[in-house]
Each structure stands twice: as C-alpha cells, then as structure tokens.
Chains A and B, each alone.
Chain A
C-alpha cells in the first residue's frame, strides 16, 4: 500500500489545464491547420493526410473541428474558425455526453488517439464525456475509418441502436472522405455518404487536443468565438 502511495506521489498531477488558460503549444514540426498562401487556393481539411511532403504549409494550430462538411474547405479569405455548433445539442448534451465508438476500417491510429483522452493528461471524464460499452446507453456515435464494405452493416445496426436524438462524429481523414482508401472498392467515400454527421474532426490521425477541442465545441463548452 505504501509503495502504491509513494508511486502516486512521485507521479504528481499531469492533467492539462486546457481549455482554461493559454492554448497548449505543440512542437514546431507538428502539422496542424494548413496555411493558405494565395487568394485562389483552398485546401480540404477532410481529404488531406497531413503529410510533410504534400506541398501544403501547416501551422501549429490544432483546432480544426467543424460541424459542416463545407467548412472543412479552407480558403484564404475566410478567417475560418467556422464552428457553428447547434444550440439544441449544447443544451441537451452540454454537461453529459455518452459516446459509443465504432471503428469502421482504418488503421487504428485514430482509435489510439481517442483512447488517449482517457489518460490522466486529458482526463475526458472531467467534462462529463464518457465512452460507453453499449449503443443503447449512448447519445451518439464516434466513427473512425473509411467504412469498409465489411463494416457497413455493423455500423448501421449500431447507429439504429442509439436512441434519438443522436449525434454522429466523424474522426480522421478516412471517416470524413475515405482518406487514402477513397479509391478502394472495399471502402466508402466518407461517413456522410452513409449517415448524417454533426461534427468533423480532421487529421491523420487528429491530435488528441484536436479531438478534445472538437468535443468541447460540440457541447458548447468552448464558445464559437473563444480561441
């Protein structure tokens, strides 16, 4: 027992203060929200895979979640932190959001960085967000992966099992657009071709902070204009 307590003491408190206080700064090489150079350029945050050799310049900003597919298309003339999130959803789920995750293809990197939210660093439960085992207990689905042909039915059945009103969150390039698998006959071209999506969190995979920021905006815990 003493050993457990001593280790606990040595570990200390590691939880991030986010969303309070200053925004956490990610390392210089981190590839966040792209920088649009020319007036006519645009980048689809939901299609790109955030690789270093794509020719796209990336900023350090991890905030990229949006609630409409078209908001993912980043243009230079829009200073788009375009998070128009639903007031009704915020009222209903703002203090308690139970989610059921469905992994529908993909490479498991998105799942891994969703799991990270349950570590003491992000401590998701302090926001009233919890991943639950049964879709019957859930307020919504979190979907990752390009929705493979073999997962389509299981996904639809899980969606049906979630009681109304329900929300759907697409995490990662694959779930949003099919990502790198968009051309495969085995996968779909995005979750919103199958289910209505309420929140898009882009990345390959998105940084845990991007995901957390998205969840909190969806719940109305981070206001639209709040940085």
Chain B
C-alpha cells in the first residue's frame, strides 16, 4: 500500500498481514533500500494491538504501510531488531507502551519509564515506582582498569535531563549508553480525543525549539483527515516559519560548537545572531519560538508586503554577518583540529541505523523531507541538499553552515514573491476510521506525525516521531574509542532533543 506525505488511508485498507508475512515484507523492503520511518502499535477491540510499520523509499518519494495484529491472549511477536537495527528503539517503545514482548530483542530495556496503555501488567515490574536510571541494566565492561562514569540527569549547563553512562579505559570510551525518559510528559495519550485546540498547543510543546516543525506536522495530519485545502499563502508563511526555526537553531549550534572547541568569539556572535532569527519569529508570530503560528486550516498571522520587505532587508544583512563569522570559525586551525576526525559516523552505520536530518547528511546519506517527500511550499521551490562526506564533528558543522546559506537563499527568493490570498480555510469534520500522516523536515531532520480516528471521527491514536528518536543511538556509537573529553563537543554536534525523544 502506497501513501504520500500528507495523505490518508482508511484503516481497513491498510494491508493486514500475518506476523510472518509482515516480518518478511518489512525486512525484504528494507534490504532493498527502504527505511523504517515509523513503527508503532494501536489498540483495537478486545485488547488486541495492531502493529503498523511505515517505510520510506526516499529515492522514489514513496511511503509504504503494512500492519499485523498481536492478540491480547498472546502479546508477543518475533523481534526485527537483529536483522534490522532501525527497529531497535521502536520495538522497545512498543514493548513499553503496549506490554508486548518482541521475542529475541537484544537490548530490551525501558525507554521512558511509564505504565503501558493497555492496562495490563507491564513487561518491567514496578516500572513507575522506580526512578530512572534506577535498576536499569546498563551494559558494563569488566576488567581491572576499566572504570564507569555516570553523568546526569542534572547536567552542568542549562540543558535538558538525561543520563549518560560511560565505560572507560583511562580516557578512552569503550562504550556509552544513554538513558532518557526524564522529560516524559505523556503527550501521545493527551493528543487523543476531539480537542484539536489543545492538540495543536501540545504539538507546539513537544520540543520548544521545533515548535513550528511539530505544529506544522500536527496541522497537516488534521487537515488531511478533514480534507482541508490550506491556502497557499498560509503554506508560504509556514515555510518561512520553519526556515527561520532552522536558521536560529543551526546558527546557535555553530556558536555552541565553537564554544566547545574553545573558541569563544564566534560563540558570542553566533549566540547573538541566533536571537536575530528568533526576533523575526517574534515579529511574525508574537512568540520567539513561533508558538501560535500554525493552526489546523492555516496560520494565525499574515505577512504583508511591508513586513516581507523588512524581513528581506534584515535577512540580507544577517547573511553577510553569517558569512563573515562562519568564515572566521571555519578557518581557525585550532577549531578545525578539534572538529576533524571526532565522533565519526560512517555512511554504512548511518544507513543501518536509519539516521535522519543533518546528522545523516553529514555522513553523505542523501535524505531530506523537503526534497524526498515535498509538500506545501517545497513543491514549488527546490532547496539543494547539503551533504558532507566525513561523518565527523566537522561534517556536522559544515552541513549546518551550508543549510543556513540555503535557507537564507530560499527565504530571499520566497519573500519578494509571496503568494496572495487568505491564510485560513475552515475545517470540516474528521474522517472516520482513517489514518493520516505528515512528514516535515525539521531542523533536526524528519518529523513524522500519524493520526488515527475512530468510528466517531475522534483521534484514538496519535503517534509522534521526533528525528532525535532515530539519531540518539548514533551518538553512542560515534563516541566509541573517543576520548571522554570529546563528549561535550560531539554531543553538541548532534544536538538531539531530549523532550522530543521523551514525549
């Protein structure tokens, strides 16, 4: 069954395969170049759970969907992870959310420490009574000179909570394991029901630095379920918001990378320049993170010619400043010496993990939703993909630098020729018994939201996937055989979301 970005399908039309066929189908297609973009469970009558896999064939701009049923009386299926590494965290999530055992999973540990949504005994006893990391069975390396370093959940800076456990030999990291879940707010269940007004607010707060990315995905899911055609002007304004969000975060990341490499001038300048983009969002939406911009049906804030011209003028100036400061950062030998060869993710690993976003592109994995699954404004504008080959901190910095320039070029092209017309269309009732999905290239990579309605047209299952969900595992692999002192720099070069992962 094929689908496209922003499309929908009746639940009964989603291929329902026997477990063995499902497994073979998913594994076969992933061997042929598809990527496991989403894999989740949904509760059906009688306590059965339908497992739904969404595969993306990026080169063909194609999405495929398959499902199988796990019966309440035998809540187990054969794990895919040993053959398909991309399934690793999805299967752990399914095990936690639905108390379904993926038999043979090599790394079956809790993800977010919450009780399951099926109201049956959890796979892990007393999971909600424990404090993370609690009795989490970290992999340990034995040996006399091996030592363990535990960091978090409360870190040294103003950042989100997470726990990192390093197994070290001297200064060298043999193995790193991350345990998150501290930010778990239970967003997916909160999204269900009929309250779309609350739904969009929740989507803006999945990850505050990706408010526009996630709220765009939410709106597109609802609009698809409601057969609503969003005016082109609203699509343009969403694209402007999304790119401003990308600009702010990429510029901020470059500043933070300079700081972690011990070069403070660019960090001060980039830090301030990041604010310039947030202030543009403030002018457009009244909020520095763009909260309040996207609503199902369109956007709440219009942009007139005067504002577009003003933004253009400012962006031209910011572009010059960015070129100036990034030139300074990327020509410092002391900085480059810290960037190069640190935290390498080879293309092969990037592919097998199913990485997304700038992290994937830094390992030369060609994958960008704006190109592969273009929707909205991206159908009319082509943003060239930004790739780098070395897969190290340098490559991840370089990809961000290129993407900043390309986002600026895109905005400078779009702003003078903004489409005319309204910014809002009204929403009909949601289709019943239907699944809709939306992909958005957030600044961290592929965001996917999936909404499923019941026979009354209320949302009965809402699945959120932040790009960080794919990419956290890459950080742990990139740290192997690196100095422990390189961790902050390497971590910053990924800059993954804790709250986006934890939901």
A214 within 8 A of B: no
A15 to B342, CA, bound (A): 35
> Beyond A53-B300, A109-B209, A150-B131, is A29–B154 a contact (Cβ under 8 Å)?
no
Interface size on B, residues (CB 8 A): 63
Query: B207 near A108 (CB under 8 angstroms)?
Result: yes
**Which of B289-297, B356-364, B408-416 lies at the binding interface?**
B289-297
Instruction: Considering the complex, give the chain B residue whose CB is closest to the CB of A113.
Output: B288
Query: B185 near A133 (CB under 8 angstroms)?
Result: no
Instruction: Considering the complex, give the chain B residue whose CB is closest to the CB of A53.
Output: B300
A63 to B407, CA, bound (A): 34
Given A3, A31, A58, A151, which contacts B183 in the complex, CB threshold below 8 Å? A151
A29 to B497, CA, bound (A): 28
Residues 184-200 of A, flagged 1 when their CB comes within 8 A of B and 0 if not, give 11110000000000000
A205 within 8 A of B: yes
Question: What is the interface of chain A, defined by CB distance below 8 A to chain B?
Answer: 3-4, 7-8, 10-11, 14, 26-27, 29-31, 49-53, 58, 101-116, 118-121, 131, 133-135, 145-146, 148-154, 158, 179-181, 183-187, 204-205, 207
B38 within 8 A of A: no
Query: B205 near A180 (CB under 8 angstroms)?
Result: yes
A195 to B300, CA, bound (A): 38
B301 within 8 A of A: yes
Instruction: Considering the complex, give the chain B residue whose CB is closest to the CB of A112.
Output: B209
Query: A51 near B182 (CB under 8 angstroms)?
Result: no
Given A104, A146, A207, which contacts B161 in the complex, CB threshold below 8 Å? A104
17 contacts across the A-B interface (CB closer than 8 A): A3-B328, A7-B328, A11-B325, A52-B285, A107-B499, A108-B160, A108-B498, A108-B499, A116-B275, A150-B113, A154-B153, A179-B205, A181-B205, A184-B185, A184-B186, A187-B186, A207-B288
Query: A107 near B182 (CB under 8 angstroms)?
Result: no
Given A111, A116, A119, A148, which contacts B268 in the complex, CB threshold below 8 Å? A119
B159 within 8 A of A: yes
> Beyond A52-B301, A153-B131, is A103–B161 a contact (Cβ under 8 Å)?
yes
Given B154, B184, B283, which contacts A158 in the complex, CB threshold below 8 Å? B154
Chain B nearest CB from A138 CB (Å) reads 11
Query: B324 near A10 (CB under 8 angstroms)?
Result: yes
Query: B272 near A121 (CB under 8 angstroms)?
Result: yes
**Which B314-340 residues have C-beta < 8 A from chain A?**
321, 324-325, 328, 331
Which A residues are in CB contact (< 8 Å) with B289?
Answer: 109, 112, 205
A-B pairs, top 5 by smallest CB distance, nearest first, are A109-B208, A107-B208, A29-B286, A133-B156, A186-B186
Given B182, B202, B271, which contacts A150 in the complex, CB threshold below 8 Å? B182
Instruction: Considering the complex, give the chain B residue whose CB is closest to the CB of A153.
Output: B131
Query: B161 near A154 (CB under 8 angstroms)?
Result: yes
Instruction: Considering the complex, give the chain A residue whose CB is closest to the CB of B186.
Output: A186
Which B residues are in CB contact (< 8 Å) with A148?
Answer: 182-185
Query: B282 near A186 (CB under 8 angstroms)?
Result: no
B464 within 8 A of A: no
B28 within 8 A of A: no
A10 to B131, CA, bound (A): 50
Instruction: Considering the complex, give the chain A residue whose CB is closest to the CB of B286.
Output: A29
A123 to B207, CA, bound (A): 26
Chain A nearest CB from B163 CB (Å) reads 9
Query: A146 near B331 (CB under 8 angstroms)?
Result: no
